[in-house]
């Protein structure tokens, strides 16, 4: 059994989500952590919680200009839901510029403080912002996932030493992806599996819409990288997910 620790299963991408869950189950993916990015998607995450579907709610840095105070209140209001396992997807993104750097850091810190206060893990988005991400996270006592990690081995070790694990997704299956070298220097304790559906579809399905069912392919890819079985990758990454997400339980099969 496998876990997709990071997906965006929204009606605007998929229409009816039941089929997505059926496809996932048919490929040994029993748990999906659905990540919100703004008020509307957070509400949808909460609405779609189910046997297979856990949730993370948060305000993504790309929404720093438009979020409202009530969007933060909504996160706090729903934090005690037993199926809401993290605050996410939150973080810093300077890919399109740093004009709103301080506003991003403020929004990030606001949500990290809530996570610390309520003792809940975080799912971190960091793009072209490694130094600020590390310095901001260091102000808090938190654990969580560095979603779609794409840095150096040194950066990986810094995050691991801070109590985070790395999220690995379809990007690692892309030709010439440098991440393979990074992961060869890590262990099976250091990462969890994710798809980031509907984005980042793994090879050889690129060009089609990503789905949680492709976790199976990512687990097989990692198995080959580490010279082991996908079942062993599943066992280890499930344990890592359980270590990070306190509210997660793995269904008996
Ligand atoms: Zn995401």
Cα dihedral angle (57, 59, 60, 62), rounded to 10 degrees?
150
pLDDT at 187: 98
In this prediction, residue 251 has a pLDDT band, given cuts at 50, 70 and 90, of: confident
Is residue 252 assigned to a domain? no
For ligand 1, the distance from its centroid to the CA atom of residue 176, given in whole angstroms, is 22
Is residue 188 assigned to a domain? yes
pLDDT at 189: 98
Q: How many domains does the chain have?
A: 1
| pLDDT tens, position by position, 20-31 | 999 999 999 999
Is residue 216 assigned to a domain? yes
pLDDT at 42: 98
Domain containing 136: what range?
A: 2-244
pLDDT at 128: 97
Looking at residue 40, which CATH number applies to its domain?
3.20.20.140
Contact predicate 103/75, CB 8 Å: no
For ligand 1, the distance from its centroid to the CA atom of residue 228, given in whole angstroms, is 28
Task: Kindly list the protein residues that place their beta carbon closer than 5 angstroms to ligand 1, a single-atom ion.
Answer: 89, 196
pLDDT at 252: 62
For ligand 1, the distance from its centroid to the CA atom of residue 29, given in whole angstroms, is 18
Instruction: Provide the angle, in degrees to the nearest 10, between the axes of the packed helices 215-226 and 230-244.
Output: 110
Q: Which residues contact 224 (CB under 8 A, 6 or more apart)?
A: none
Is residue 251 assigned to a domain? no
Is residue 249 assigned to a domain? no
Across 217-238, average pLDDT: 98
pLDDT at 250: 83
> pTM of the entire structure?
0.97
Q: What is residue 222's three-state secondary structure?
A: helix
Is residue 250 assigned to a domain? no
pLDDT at 73: 98
């Amino acid at each position: 059994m496998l876990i997709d620790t990071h997906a965006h299963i929204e009606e605007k991408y998929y229409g009816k989500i039941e089929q997505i869950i059926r496809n996932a189950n048919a490929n040994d993916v029993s748990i999906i952590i659905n990540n919100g990015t703004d008020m509307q998607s957070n509400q949808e995450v909460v609405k779609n919680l189910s046997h297979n579907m856990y949730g993370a709610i948060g305000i993504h840095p790309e929404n720093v200009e438009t979020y409202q105070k009530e969007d933060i209140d909504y996160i706090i209001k729903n934090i005690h839901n037993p199926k809401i396992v993290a605050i996410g997807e939150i973080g810093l993104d300077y890919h399109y510029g740093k004009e709103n750097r301080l506003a991003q850091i403020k929004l990030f810190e606001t949500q990290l403080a809530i996570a610390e206060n309520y003792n809940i893990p975080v799912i971190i988005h960091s793009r072209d912002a490694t130094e600020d991400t590390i310095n901001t996270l260091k102000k808090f006592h938190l654990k969580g996932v560095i979603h779609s990690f794409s840095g150096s081995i040194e950066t990986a070790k810094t995050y691991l030493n801070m109590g985070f694990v790395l999220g690995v997704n379809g990007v690692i299956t892309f030709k010439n992806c440098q991440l393979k070298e990074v992961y060869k220097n890590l262990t099976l304790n250091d990462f969890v599996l994710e798809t980031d559906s509907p984005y980042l579809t793994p090879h050889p399905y690129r060009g089609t819409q990503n789905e949680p069912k492709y976790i199976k392919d990512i687990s097989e890819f990692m198995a080959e990288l580490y010279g082991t079985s996908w079942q062993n990758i599943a066992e280890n990454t499930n344990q890592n997910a359980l270590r990070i997400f306190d509210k997660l339980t793995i269904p008996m099969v």
